[in-house]
Structure 1
Amino acid sequence: MAGRVKQMLTPKQARFADEYIVDLNATQAAIRAGYSSKRADATGYENLRKPEIAAALKERMDKRAERTQINADWMLKRLAQDATADLAEIYDPNGNLLPVGSWPMAWRTGLVAGIDTAHERDGTDDEGKPTFVTVRKVRLADRTKLLELIGKHIDVGAFKDRIEHSGKIGLESLIADGE
């Protein structure tokens, strides 16, 4: 930094930064970092506004994104994949559910909100042991929420509240109302 000395964090501020990236909760991060729980909400807010702590948080979050390979691009690709997945991929040509292990990854890792099963004997596994679980009902994740998240991420404006006004509001109408 030309002309400026980089300000160091205190140990408590560094601990706050470490704790904040755990759950992005400034109040709880302040408490876990050792600040007073009585003022933790104010302290957390104040810490987030300090440039040196904000810079430390950005650095920690950038390192985490690099380490996990989860970033905004990854998130948007995943949301798009989930929002456009074809339900037919989990059924055979006769309309029967495929075994869960045969489902495409998108269905196994987020698109299914729940599975209702029935416990009944329906065959044997490779070792000759009886198998007892049959999927009876699949509850799907809320795709509208996926689309909303995509819209917010790319800021298409499709989910912004719109307020329309009609009528004449101007100096003339204000003067007329004041009479």
Structure 2
Amino acid sequence: MALTAKQKTFVQEYLIDLNATQAAIRARYSIKTAEQQASRLLSNVKVQEAIQKAMGQREKRTEITQDRVLQELAKIGFSNISDYLSVNTSQRVVAYKETDDGERVPITDWVQLVEVFDTEVIDRLKMDAVSEIKQTKEGISLKLHDKVSALEKIGRHLGMFVDKVQHSGTVEVNNPLKDLSTEELRKLIRDG
């Protein structure tokens, strides 16, 4: 059996943002029952097949695959700041003092200097993790994309973080009071 016109519209709308309830509303299902309709539509085998087929076609057309998205997230998630800059400790002259015989003697201090590498020497793939490079009054500012967010997305994709756990089955409880009558239970409560 082929999809109805409304089901086809739902599939097209679902591909926009993968929000089933909103897709049902945009496909002209009742706003009041959109959530239930969306659930019903997503559990329909023919609708699921149409969604998967459309996603596959879009994947081929755009060349955006799950693997490619994961690879981009991995570049960010596994980036290392030392690929872009180094911190060097060195001595520098901070002032001069004059000795009793008129000689100028340098006063030095240990300082840490940040050296940002030239973009030509940084691996092109590593540059994908860079969010921003800008010149400031203090020097060059380098900002990477959010590493933690990328790692969380990778972890969720891999099923590492579970928000809900669903259990099914029965639990047997040995209840010694289950065979007592209401009157016997009341007597137990009174006598404590």
Structure-2 residue corresponding to 1:166? none
**CA 1:57/1:101 → structure 2, altered by over 3 Å: closer, same or farther?**
farther
Provide closer, same or farther for how the CA distance between residues 12 and 135 of structure 1 changes in structure 2, counting only shifts above 3 A: farther
> Does the aligned pair in 2 maintain the 1:116–1:137 contact within 8 Å?
yes
Give secondary structure in 1 for the equivalent of 2:60.
Answer: helix
SS of match in other structure, 1:96: strand
Contact 2:129 2:145 in 1 (8 A): yes
Check if 1:20 corresponds to 2:39: no
How far did 1:102 drift? 7.6
Deviations 1:49-74 (A, max 9, x none): 11111111011111111222222222
| Aligned pair partner of 1:46 in 21, 40, 43 | 40
Structure 1 vs Structure 2: percent identity of aligned residues? 31
Q: Distance in 1 between matches of 2:124 and 2:33?
A: 45
Q: How does 1:106-145 map to 2 (within 5 A)?
A: 109-112=128-131, 118=136, 135-136=140-141, 138=143, 140-145=144-149
In 1, the alpha carbon distance for the partners of 2:61 and 2:44 equals 26
Instruction: Rate the CA distance shift 1:15–1:105 in 2: closer, same or farther, 3 A.
Output: farther
TM-score (norm: length of structure 1): 0.61
Q: Which has the larger strand fraction?
A: 2
1:11 maps to 5
CA contact (8 A) 1:83 1:146 kept: yes
1:85 to 73, 76, 79: 79
User: In angstroms, what is the RMSD of aligned CA positions?
Assistant: 3.7
Q: Does 1:68 align with 2:62?
A: yes
How many equivalent pairs are there? 147
Residue 124 of structure 1 is matched in structure 2 by none
Is there any run of 5+ residues in structure 1 with no aligned partner, and where? 1-6, 121-133, 162-169
- Alignment gaps of 5+ in structure 2: 89-113, 164-172, 177-187
User: CA–CA distance in 2 between the matches of 1:72 and 1:88?
Assistant: 28
1:16-58 superposed Cα distances (whole Å, 9 cap, x missing partner): 1001010001111112112222222222221111111111101
Equivalence for 1:149: 153
- The answer on whether the counterparts of 1:26 and 1:45 sit within 8 Å (CA) in structure 2 is yes
Please identify the structure whose Cα radius of gyration is greater: 2
Which piece of structure 1 moves more, 16-25 or 43-52? 43-52
Query: Cα offset for 1:103?
Result: 6.0
CA distance in 2, matches of 1:82, 1:22: 26
Q: Does structure 1 conserve the Cα–Cα contact (< 8 Å) formed by 2:79 and 2:129?
A: no
